[in-house]
Amino acid sequence: MKILIVDDSKAMRMLVRRALREAGYGDHDYAEAQNGKEALEILKAGGVDLALLDWNMPEMTGIEVLAKVKELGLRTKCAMITTEASPDMQTRAHAEGALFVVGKPFSPEIIERELRRVFG
């Protein structure tokens, strides 16, 4: 499985990767992007199974990436890891195709629980 981590904070990308490793997903392939525009280019190129998106980013937000993924019919599964985790924002993200929304700060257990729910 190839996982794309999208966040404008380098430290947060590192934390997400560490959480994935602790959640038992350390053996997978990883790619990183620091904004939505960069993420979309990687997604268009194909080969990414799961994209974990931050919401507020320069160039293109996570929710805009979700909308583009839907519009272009890309098959990558998408989820959000964001401070924008209020019920309203979660509803919006789900409507745009996010499989789950994890609020920041997060524990590896929460990431693991959501990934097990999606991938079994």
List of residues contacting other proteins (CB under 8 A): 9-12, 14-15, 56, 83, 85-86, 103-107
Under a CB-based contact definition with an 8 Å cutoff, are residues 78 and 94 in contact?
Answer: no
Distance of CA 27 to the CA centre of its chain: 18
What's the half-sphere exposure (Cβ side, CA atoms, 13 Å) at 81?
A: 28
Q: Cβ neighbours of residue 95 under 8 Å, at least 6 residues apart?
A: none
**Both structure tokens of 44:** 């268009």
Q: In the complex with other proteins, which residue's Cβ is closer, 46 or 105?
A: 105
Q: Which is nearer to other proteins, 47 or 105 (CB)?
A: 105
Structure tokens at 96: 């745009």
Supply the minimum distance, in Å, between the C-beta of residue 72 and other proteins.
27
| SS3 state at 30 | strand
Nearer to other proteins, 79 or 102 (CB): 102
Minimal distance in Å, beta carbon 84 to other proteins? 9
For residue 14, the minimal CB distance to other proteins (Å) is 6
Tokens of 113: 């629980």
Residue 75 C-beta: closest distance to other proteins, Å: 30
Please, which residue, 13 or 77, has the CB nearer to other proteins?
Answer: 13
